[in-house]
Chains A and B, each alone.
Chain A
Amino acid sequence: MPQLFFALSLIALALMLAVVWQASAPAWKTYQREFHRLEAVGEPNALTKNAMLTTPLDIRQVLLPGLQRVDRCTTCHLGVEDPTMRNAPQPFTFHANLAPHLPARFGCTVCHGGQGLATDQQNAHGKVEFWQEPLLPREYIRASCGRCHKEGEVPGVPELAEGRRLFETQGCRGCHKLNGVGGSIGPDLTEEGAVRRFPEWLARHFLDPNAVSKSSPMPNFHFTKEQARALTFYMLSLTSEQMGTYYSSVRLIPSAGYGRQLFVEKNCIACHTIGGVGSKSGSDLLGVTKQHSSGWLDEQLVNPQLVYPGSSMPEYDLETNARKAIVTFMASATAEDARSILAGRAKPLTAQEAAIEAGKQNFARFGCVGCHGIQLQGGVPNPNSQGGEVPSLLHASDDYTKQEVIKIIQNGKAPPVENSKKPAPPLYMPSWKNVLSEEDINRVADYLWSLQKKRDAW
């Protein structure tokens, strides 16, 4: 009996030592030692050299409290800010073109993905079960720019703006919700970039939805490779994490270039003048930053009515960062800027053209293409309806009056049934009167009729 007790006690001691031994030599310590050795190689000063070699080994981390992120990548990737490590092997390689996105302020995982909390390679790179954000492949990393830069063109990443344009014009919202707006046939895409970061899957999905997701109701839009790539970039950038807000609340500098872009995009020159150049209805903006504090200007951009009751300036839903950028642009804007902005603007549309254009936009945005086809050719199978397909809209003006079409859009319509004994056709025209205003519906009808005119002309 006492022998048993002794043996068990020995085993307990041995197990405790094994536990301590297992925890004693994490891989990151090996990496840190190796880095300090590399670092000391080129150092002429013996004292500094010694200090480098004896640097205490510890876990380094970047705290991003507003984002609930902690990035410990720099525990091993020690050379990211050290230009002498340009040719060092990974994980020590210098990160070129980093400024102004320094890891100490921005962390790493917001762009690269991966598991910032982890301190061993496999887990940190996130290619493990139960981590939804694995490292992005190199060619997709730039998609992450769109997680903060949600408006305008991001220099060097044309895919983002193109992807956003495709999303808004191809009727994706007809089936998918984004930030609370859109249909509910397909999955909500608000978090798409946060939960499904598998770019290869997304790219193949856009080329042919059924190839990767069998029996997906999503129609094949016959995107080109470039378009699929652009949409993949845009998808990867979608997240509800308030990154832009967080970074602008720390020390991100909103550039004047971004501000100018917004100025063009929001068409400010339609009302305002800069140094007397432009339309005359709004105030002149030359030197506006000298007349008012930046806080006042920010307030003005958030809610113009609050600052000037009765102001005719509309409210623009701008992020903090975007407002700062506009104010920065204002500080440097001159009459010359106004002239070049005006020169870049397209010829204004006539009222009729504008109505048709708006109808086309509505048609695309609200997902009509999902059933009626991108070329309005119809043809989506609808078993047991007369004809067996969703009808084409190219000949709407032949078969109906404009009033009848408007009624159908307003109230919806069940397709005529082929055989009443079989199950009812799965697709039907939903009622749009709660989604689209009467004016919007009239414009869609205008758009359909405009197609008719084109045919006549031909």
Chain B
Amino acid sequence: MNRRTFLNWGTAGIAALCAGVAVSLAAVVRFLTPSVFYEPPQMFKIGNAADFSFGPPTFLAEEKIFVFRDREKGFAIASAVCTHLGCTVGYFQTDGRFHCPCHGSVFGADGKVEHGPAPRPLEWFEVTLARDGQLSVDKDRVVPAAYRLMV
């Protein structure tokens, strides 16, 4: 066999090998991407509309959300996670605002930053009516503060 054929076959072999390695690397990235999450789901049901009272929002500690219910406007879900560094904010009935315990950020009732280091307003999540009549919240879908679900 002469040198040229040797090198040609060799190069072709190395090319095939590189393709194989490329596929394997892609597969490894996919392998490392989690297909299930060992944490509470992003989309969950919070119960029937009747379970929630009008007036000050209901805080769901595990889900880290506030459920607002208004007689005229309907339901809205606010995130309880401060946009600054992720602490859980509290709702103060005395002034109708959200206060973050970590660095003193204050958010208005509509989620807008009124004070402190928080860079963005609180997030609002989509809430829909599931077919079994329960309210379903999807944390993956952020909606404008004006979003309301009328039940």
Are A and B close enough to touch in the complex, i.e. CB under 8 Å?
A: yes
Indicate which residue in A13, A61, A83 contacts B17 across the interface (CB closer than 8 Å).
A13
**How many Å from the CB of B106 to the closest CB on chain A?**
32
- Given known A-B contacts A13-B16, A13-B17, A2 and B10 have beta carbons under 8 A apart: yes
Please report whether the interface of chain B is mostly helix, strand, loop or mixed according to DSSP: helix
- Which listed segment binds B: A14-22, A107-115, A211-219, A329-337? A14-22
B131 at the interface (CB under 8 A from A): yes
- Which listed segment binds B: A4-12, A351-359, A383-391? A4-12
Which residues does A use to contact B, with CB under 8 Å? 1-3, 5-6, 8-10, 12-13, 16-17, 19-20, 58-61, 63, 72, 81-84, 102, 104
| B38:A16 contact, CB within 8 angstroms | no
A339 to B17 alpha-carbon distance, docked (Å):
86
B87 at the interface (CB under 8 A from A): no
Residue numbers in A under 8 Å from B40 (CB-CB): 63
When each residue 62-93 of chain B gets 1 if its CB lies under 8 Å from chain A and 0 otherwise, what string results? 00000000000000000000000000000000
- Which listed segment binds A: B19-27, B97-105, B111-119? B19-27
Residue numbers in A under 8 Å from B19 (CB-CB): 13
Top 10 A-B pairs, shortest CB-CB distance: A2-B9, A6-B13, A9-B16, A13-B20, A9-B13, A5-B13, A9-B17, A16-B23, A2-B10, A82-B131
Q: Which residue in chain B gives the minimum CB-CB distance to A117?
A: B36
Q: Which residue in chain A gives the minimum CB-CB distance to B6?
A: A2
| A104:B17 contact, CB within 8 angstroms | no
When each residue 1-43 of chain B gets 1 if its CB lies under 8 Å from chain A and 0 otherwise, what string results? 1000111111011111101100110010000000110101100
Can you name 14 extra interface pairs (CB under 8 A) apart from A16-B27, A60-B41?
Answer: A2-B10, A3-B9, A5-B9, A9-B14, A9-B15, A13-B16, A16-B20, A20-B23, A59-B36, A63-B38, A72-B36, A81-B134, A82-B132, A83-B131
| A10:B16 contact, CB within 8 angstroms | yes
Which residues does B use to contact A, with CB under 8 Å? 1, 5-10, 12-17, 19-20, 23-24, 27, 35-36, 38, 40-41, 44-45, 130-132, 134
| B10:A5 contact, CB within 8 angstroms | yes
A172 to B40 alpha-carbon distance, docked (Å):
44
Residue numbers in B under 8 Å from A83 (CB-CB): 131-132
Residue numbers in B under 8 Å from A19 (CB-CB): 27
Residue numbers in B under 8 Å from A61 (CB-CB): 36
| A2:B44 contact, CB within 8 angstroms | no
Residue numbers in A under 8 Å from B36 (CB-CB): 59, 61, 72
A104 to B134 alpha-carbon distance, docked (Å):
12
**How many Å from the CB of A3 to the closest CB on chain B?**
5
A102 to B19 alpha-carbon distance, docked (Å):
48
| B12:A6 contact, CB within 8 angstroms | yes
A8 to B20 alpha-carbon distance, docked (Å):
11
